Structure formats: structure tokens, C-alpha cells
Amino acid sequence: MDTDAVDIGSGFAGLYALYKLREAGLSVRVFERGDGVGGTWYWNRYPGARVDIQSVEYMFTKFPDLEQEWDWTELMPAQAEIERYLNWVTDRLELRDRITFRTAVRGATYDDQTATWRVETDRGEQVVARFVVAATGCLSAPIEPAIAGLGRFTGDSLFTNRFPRDGYDFTGRRVAVIGTGSSGVQSIPVIAKQAAELFVLQRPAASPLPSPNRPLRPNELDELKAQYPDIRSAQWASPVGTARFGAVSFLGRRQLTNILDASWDERIAKLDELGFAGCFAWADVFFDVEANEAATRLYAEAIKRVVEDPRTAEDLVPHYPFGCKRVIIDEGYFETFNRDNVHLVNLRRNPISSIVPSGIQRRDDLLALDVIVYATGFDAMTGPLSRIDIRGRGGVSLREVWAESPKAYLGLGVAGFPNLFTVTGPGSPSVLTNMVTSIEHHVEWITACIGHLRAHGHRSIEADPAAQDDWAEHVPTFAGPIQVHPSCTSWYLGANVPGKTRYYMPYAGGLTRYMASCDEVVAHGYQGFVLT
Ligand code: NA7
């Protein structure tokens, strides 16, 4: 063996895995395809990129000394500040020299005889390790949009999920943004301020809520730092790993009134009081499709209050249940459509036919452009690993296994793939919680598991297929009628990727309940896993 463990990726998960495994006495090699740390926060450097968790909670929670030294400047930090934080942590914890940058893992093959993995990189290096920790992230496999002629455009093509490192100056240019998920919605207001003309190419309308972001006030951070121990305890007791909600705080509050029991005037009064959030601050909206539709009608009213052109306002109303997709926060998204240089292009009415050298050909017209920005999303949760040629026992391909059924026991391990840990795999709560808190939990569980194997002389651990099936059946039971609604094309369901099995991948039962399940598995001698 060349090393005890290979850790793929150096975002929050990869860095923490490296730290914990090294602390546990393992030798670790980390491969990172970027030339810096940060993972999601390295690649997604598009204008306006920002997290929707409060800064003081979107950081590692297990370093009481270190956290006192780091100063956040905003309530919800932007990409650059998070990337700086992760670089600072990397250096403070002396992690950088274990990371091989600009090197992607291309394949990994399990050898049953030796219970080891042979990991191959795109630079031709081969490393044999007992364990592979896939800290590959949930949203790191970009989708190439299935649009004819993609490579033919002679202007600049940009992708939000691998945006140029030095930024891009849109000044004076005719720009199209394709996609109105988080990446589109966050970047559009910023690009609109620079571009000569901006065309927003919308397939489904977004349903964002205004961001409460602001600079932290003088002394505010000092006061928060003094409360860090309490904040951390509250985070770990919270089902979503965050105690100080921000953007969507009303979602966490218990609502008493049903929208379906309220008159139109009462609904409007809530809108007057809370703005966009008033559309969803009702008890029944997330559990009942009819109530959700009523909330969307109120949302249409909220849009009309902001967007001056009636046809644009109408086109911005979503046609799927609110909350089935990832909730988005925005900074001035709807207001942007009042600018003279911004044009909403409704693809439902007039779809894209192809990309042509001069721009985008739609069924009924040609958009002449200088720049196309693709904000078209990711093959979430399974994509990052399916794109690596991972071969488990008997040469079985993880890509093929997951193509049929994207499952992992506790989201952490897959039957047939011993000693491979999937830090935030399908079946983990990860993306429905504060990612950092979940990552810390998952990594600590994995580290303790490896410690147990070593202490008891085991060579391997592997999910039992029956336990994995039970877990895979259990996971979607927490998703309600809104999350799995037939009109929903969310990446949670894999519905944004043509041909992907439609299955609600993340565990929606909450982090605390999930942690209890993980503890129980351990208490019963790693029940549901086979140890050899
Ligand atoms: P999302 O949320 O998956 O959004 C991608 C958007 O791009 C969505 O509106 C898609 O429409 C649209 N899309 C995808 N392909 C096309 C084509 N071919 N033509 C037109 N429109 C298209 O990705 P984001 O990067 O914005 O956000 C991902 C997550 O990152 C987010 O949820 C946060 O957790 C952070 P569709 O819905 O597929 O019809």
C-alpha cells in the first residue's frame, strides 16, 4: 500500500476528512482537480455567488480557537470570502502539502484479495490505498446542456460552475443567461448592471425570496463570537444544522394559519406584512398541493407589485410547487426586469432550437449575442462519482449500479464497494441541511469507523445490500407531495438530468434524526455493514 487513504476533493468535506484522518494517524493523499482548495466555492465563482446560511454558522464548528480568529464581513458571505476562509483554514491546519492539485481521479478499482483500492489519476499516477474517501461534493458534476450546436458559438461561452478565475467584464456586451436556478438568479442582477443588453432565457420560472444579507455591524461579530459555544450547541441540536436561519427563517417558524382557511384579503395582508415571504408563511403550504397553488397565486401578486411590465410579471410566475426545488435567495432579481436593458425570454413559448455562430436560434427568431452564460446546473449527488470509473468487487461499475438505483447505505457506503466512503452520498441529509455541519458529522462518523476497523483488525467494511435497500426505501418517505410532485424537475429527484432515475435522493428526516440512526448502527456493531 502506498497510503492508508485517498481523499478525493478539497472542499469543506475533503479538508475536514484530511484533517480528521491525519489526526487519527492515517497517511492520506488528497487529489484535487482544481488548482486551489474550496470545491464548490472554488469553481462557482460567478458574479453574485453567495451562500444562504449565516456566515458564523457556515464554518467549521469544531475548532474553538481558530473560529475566534476568523472575521466575517457579511451576514451571508459571498464566494470570494468563503474561498478565502477555506484557504486560511488549509494553511492554519497545515493541510496544503498533502494535497495534489490540478489532478483529477479518473478511476478506482477494488482488489478483493488485498482489500485495497488502486486509484488512477488523469496524470497517470497510480496509488494503492486501503480506503477511499469520496469528498467529491453534491454539486460538482456540471451538466452540458443538451442543446444542438453548443460548440459553434463564436462569441464567449461561460459556465457559472467553472467561471473564469479572474472574472469577466460584461461591459457593453449583448449577453444571454440560460437557466434560472440559484446560479442564474444570483448572477443576473449583477450582469445586468454591466451588460449593454441582457437576455434571460427562462425555462421554468424561479421562485426566489429576497436575501436578508447585509454587512455585519460594528461589534456585531465580536458579540457573536462571544456566543459561539451556544450557537454551536444550538446548531448541533437543530434538524438542519443551523440555529440562526436567515433567508428562509419563516420556514423554520411554526405557522398556525392555513392559507386555505384565509380569505384573499387576509392573504394580501400577510403579503403587506412580510413581502414575498408572506406567500409561504402558512401552516399548510408545504404539505398540501392545493395550498401550495394558493401560495403561488399570492406569489404572482407579489411579483406584480415589483415588475412593471404585466406580460413579464406573468411569465415570471412559476408553474411547479414552491419548495419542490431548492429555495433560492436573490438580491434584486425581480427588480432587474424593470431595467431597459434586460429582457425576459420565455422558452416555454419559444424554445431554443440550436446554438449558432452568431448566437441562439430559437424556433421563431435569432438572438444575436456576444456572450452566452450557461447556468444550467449539475448532475447532483451521484454525478460526481458516476463520472469516475469506479469498479468495486468483481469489477462492478458504480456508474452502472447508480444508473439503475442511486442508493448508498446511510449515504455513506455502497454495497459491492468495500472501503469506499461517500461523504455526502445519496441518502445523506447533506444538501437539505447546512452542508458544513453535515459534512463534519459524516466525516467524523467515517473516521471513527476506520478507527474501529483498525482497532479490531478488520480489513474491510461494506454495506449489506438488504440494509442498503431498507435505507433507500426509508429515505424518500420523508419527502412530501410537494417535493415529489410530477411537475417538479428538481435535482433532488435527478429530474434535471435526461434519463436519470427519478428518486428523491437526500434524506429529509433532519440531521438530528439521521445522526441518531448512525449512532444506532454503531451501537449495534455497525449493523447493516459487513466487516471482514
Ligand atoms: P439548477 O438549480 O439546476 O438550475 C439550472 C437551470 O437551468 C434550471 O432553470 C434549468 O431548467 C435550466 N436549464 C438546464 N438546461 C437547460 C437547457 N438546455 N435550456 C434551458 N434551460 C436549461 O442549477 P444552479 O447551478 O442554478 O443551482 C444548483 C444548486 O447550487 C442550487 O440548488 C444551490 O443548492 C446551489 P429545468 O429546471 O431543468 O427545466
Measured distance CA(187)–CA(201) in Å, rounded: 13
In the reported structure, the alpha carbon of residue 386 is separated from the centroid of ligand 1 by a whole-number distance in angstroms of: 19
In the reported structure, the alpha carbon of residue 127 is separated from the centroid of ligand 1 by a whole-number distance in angstroms of: 36
Q: What percent of the chain has pLDDT over 90?
A: 95
Residue 512 has pLDDT above 70, yes or no: yes
For all residues of the chain together, what is the average pLDDT? 96
Measured distance CA(433)–CA(240) in Å, rounded: 4
Measured distance CA(279)–CA(366) in Å, rounded: 37
Q: How many CB atoms lie within 10 A of CB 146?
A: 9
Q: pLDDT digit string (tens) for 209-249? A: 999 899 999 999 999 999 999 999 999 999 999 987 655 55
* Ligand 1 proximity of 496 Cβ (cutoff 6 Å): yes
Measured distance CA(518)–CA(498) in Å, rounded: 33
Measured distance CA(186)–CA(206) in Å, rounded: 11
Closest Cα partner for 389 from 413, 363, 411, 417? 417
Q: pLDDT digit string (tens) for 165-192? A: 999 999 999 999 999 999 999 999 999 9
Q: What percent of the chain has pLDDT over 70?
A: 98
3-state secondary structure of 455: helix
Q: Tell me, letter by letter, the H, E, C secondary structure of 393-431.
A: HHHCEHHHHHHHCCCCECCCECCCCCCEEECCCCCCCHH
Q: Tell me, letter by letter, the H, E, C secondary structure of 478-531.
A: HCCCCCCCCCCCCHHHCCCCCCCCCCCCCCCCCHHHHHHHHHHHHHCCCCCEEE
Mean pLDDT of 430-459: 97
Residue 19 has pLDDT above 60, yes or no: yes
| pLDDT given for residue 247 in this prediction | 52
* Ligand 1 proximity of 162 Cβ (cutoff 6 Å): no
3-state secondary structure of 532: coil
Measured distance CA(290)–CA(121) in Å, rounded: 51
Mean pLDDT of 312-319: 96
- For 289-325, b/e burial (b = at least 16 CB within 10 A) is bebbebbbebbbbbbeebbeeeebbebbbbebbbbbb
* Ligand 1 proximity of 38 Cβ (cutoff 6 Å): no
Amino acid in the structure at residue 23: E
Closest Cα partner for 350 from 368, 366, 363? 363
Measured distance CA(227)–CA(232) in Å, rounded: 9
Closest C-alpha to ligand 1, atom 38: 496
3-state secondary structure of 294: helix
Atom of ligand 1 nearest to the CA of 489: 37
* Ligand 1 proximity of 184 Cβ (cutoff 6 Å): yes
Atom of ligand 1 nearest to the CA of 161: 25
* Ligand 1 proximity of 34 Cβ (cutoff 6 Å): no
Considering only residues 33 and 255, tell me which one the structure prediction assigns the higher pLDDT: 33
Closest Cα partner for 508 from 417, 438, 422? 438
In the reported structure, the alpha carbon of residue 264 is separated from the centroid of ligand 1 by a whole-number distance in angstroms of: 33
Crossing angle of helices 12-23/79-92, nearest 10°? 10
Residue 251: pLDDT band (50, 70, 90) is low
Q: Which of 43-57, 236-250, 269-283, 427-441 has the lowest mean pLDDT?
A: 236-250
- The 8-class DSSP code of residue 144 comes to P
- For 105-135, b/e burial (b = at least 16 CB within 10 A) is bbebebeeeebbbbbbbeeeeebebbbbbbb
- Which residue out of 46, 79, 183, 209 has the highest number of ligand 1 atoms within 8 Å of its CB and is therefore the one to mutate? 183
Measured distance CA(343)–CA(345) in Å, rounded: 6
C-alpha cell at 305: 407589485
Residue 524 has pLDDT above 90, yes or no: yes
In the reported structure, the alpha carbon of residue 65 is separated from the centroid of ligand 1 by a whole-number distance in angstroms of: 39
DSSP character string of 261-279:
GS-HHHHHHHHHHHGGGGG
Q: pLDDT digit string (tens) for 28-67? A: 999 999 999 999 999 999 999 999 999 999 999 999 999 9
Atom of ligand 1 nearest to the CA of 326: 32
Q: pLDDT digit string (tens) for 340-350? A: 999 999 999 99
List Cα–Cα distances, 82 to 12, 56, 65, 292, in angstroms.
Answer: 10, 11, 19, 34
Q: How many CB atoms lie within 10 A of CB 18?
A: 28
Q: How many CB atoms lie within 10 A of CB 65?
A: 7
HSE-CB for 486 with a 13 A CA cutoff: 0
- Which residue out of 82, 150, 180, 496 has the highest number of ligand 1 atoms within 8 Å of its CB and is therefore the one to mutate? 496
| pLDDT given for residue 243 in this prediction | 85
Closest Cα partner for 270 from 241, 233, 298? 298
